[in-house]
Amino acid sequence: MLNKLTAVSQKLSPGLGKIIRNVGWLFAERGLSIVLSLFIGIYVVRYLGAENFGKFSYIISFVGLFGVIAKLGLDAIVVRNIVRDENSSQEILGTAFVLKFIGSLLTVALIVGATSILEDDPQIRWMTLIIALGLLFSSFEVIEFWFQSKVLAGAMVGVRSIQLIVSSAAKLVFIALKLPLMAFVWLILADVFLRSVGIVWVYFKHDQSILLWKVNWAKSINLLKDSWPLILSAVMVSIYVKIDQVMLGNMTDNVAVGNYAAAVRFSEIWYFVPIIICSSVFPAIIRAKQRSEQEYCGKLQQLYDLVAWISLAIAIPMTFASGPLIDTLLGEEYNQAGEILALHIWAGPFVFLGVARSQWLMTENLTRFSFATTSLGAVTNILLNLLLIPAYKGSGAALATVISYAVASHVSCLFYPPMFNNAWMLTKALFIPFRLRQNLIYLSHVKKIFL
């Protein structure tokens, strides 16, 4: 078997082999994360109970609602710029780091101001501040962009895996000692700090140094010019991703938020898949465009088809298994979560294709359209939440999420002529199970590699 795998690896081009190894590392990491979520995360959910877990999830969603501002929409842009100009990587990283740190400071101040206005509970205010402080350490994630540009996932996988194992062990200790909710809040801040330390250490181990970073204010202006639509887009994405739990918390109670948050954990646990795949193939897509428009479009359709197949393979069985799964793992206290999960899981196909489409928007420099689509999705989600949550609570929020994701990632393409062809490609991807001839072609390609 080992000889067979070695022979297959030798047939692959260096670029494809590098992408496959990169994806393999990232999938291994997420596999570990899924296992720990099932055995540790579920234990935490049961320990906290629906009410405390609802409060905990509400706070995390509230911070996340503002936290995207600190990213400044720079993630994919930094990777793109490093790929295009590797000699300027130190300058790009240093500039991006300073911009992100300034953005984090402003975001923490904004969160503190918002909680002082919207929240009367001193405990919620204090816990929100603790979690928000983690945004300051997240500025070091620019180092991860350097590894992404080099398609070197293994190093970052090691850091995140160690941090995940340490964090999971700490949660078990907290449960054994019967520590209160506040301990889990402090743990979130400690996780971000330890991860930042690990990222810097691995960066040094690869003969790089943050001491060599430079800040180019002229380059910072160019970065912000490219990213400001993505900043606004990320805010809108955050609204229609996080607003459901915030609105549930304000329109119902913590128990409803707890059931919804528990269901969403099982649904969103798969969202790492398109991110891993797309981050790994993004440099190859950029280079394909430089070589040939036909090759570029072909690779893009293959990416859409792949993520659509994976999302449907998850959504269909989960629809029928959601009820028994929730009852078995979480117990009767979360009896509403099964119905919510059966609905929310269908947001997956639109999330997967939306992540893949973002690669096309970035390559084509159509970031302004990204802002328009996410704005439409956010407005749709808020209006549907106002309509559905009073009558159906968590199930209404789940249905609103599915519809708003479909509007943002797919329906919106029908309103903008330059997106018509891309809309057709996305539609074909959604119907990939029925495109038998194309599936046979894909299968033959796989057979050629392994046979």
As a whole number of angstroms, the distance between CA 22 and CA 14 comes to: 12
Note the pLDDT of residue 353.
92
Q: Is residue 88 a contact partner of residue 96, using CB atoms and an 8 Å limit?
A: no
Chain centroid to Cα 21, Å, comes to 21
Are residues 299 and 336 in contact, defined by beta-carbon separation less than 8 angstroms?
A: no
Strand ranges in 148-205 using DSSP code E only, listed in sequence order: none
Q: What is the pLDDT of residue 225?
A: 74
Domain ranges of the chain: 2-450
For the chain, how big is the Rg over CA atoms in Å?
22
State residue 266's pLDDT score.
86
Rounded to 5°, the CA angle 405-409-413 comes to 135
Overall pTM > 0.85: no
Computed from CA positions of residues 124, 125, 130, 132, in that sequence, does the dihedral angle turn out positive or negative?
positive
pLDDT at residue 364, as a whole number: 75
For 281, other C-beta atoms within 10 Å of its C-beta total 24
What residue type is 277 in one-letter code?
A: I
Give the C-alpha separation, 25 to 157, whole Å: 7
Q: pLDDT value at position 11?
A: 54
**Residue among 18, 12, 13 at smallest CA distance from 450:** 12
Tell me how far apart the alpha carbons of residues 97 and 119 are, in angstroms, rounded to a whole number: 32
Residue 365 is given by DSSP the state T
- pLDDT of res. 422: 85
Residue ranges of the chain whose pLDDT lies below 70: 1-33, 38, 75-76, 82-86, 89, 146, 148-156, 226, 228-230, 233, 237, 240, 367, 449-451
How many other C-beta atoms lie within 10 A of the C-beta of residue 346? 22
Rounded Cα distance, 272 and 43, in Å: 22
Q: What is the pLDDT of residue 375?
A: 82
Residue pair 177/48 in contact (Cβ under 8 Å)? The answer is no
Angle at 270 between CA 269 and CA 276, to 5 degrees: 115
Query: Phi and psi dihedrals of 72, rounded to 5?
Result: 60, 20
Say which residues have a Cβ less than 8 Å from residue 73's Cβ, sequence separation at least 6.
Answer: 227, 228, 229, 230, 231, 232, 233, 234, 367
- CB crowding 391-416: b at 16 or more within 10 Å, else e: ebbbbbbbbbbbbbbbbbbbbbbeee
| Predicted pLDDT at 384 | 94
What per-residue confidence (pLDDT) applies to 2? Answer: 42
pLDDT recorded at residue 9: 47
Instruction: Give the CA distances from residue 151 to residues 1, 17, 26, in Å, rounded to whole numbers and listed in that order.
Output: 27, 11, 11
Q: Residue 288 is which amino acid? A: A
Helix axes 42-71, 217-251, angle to 10 degrees: 140
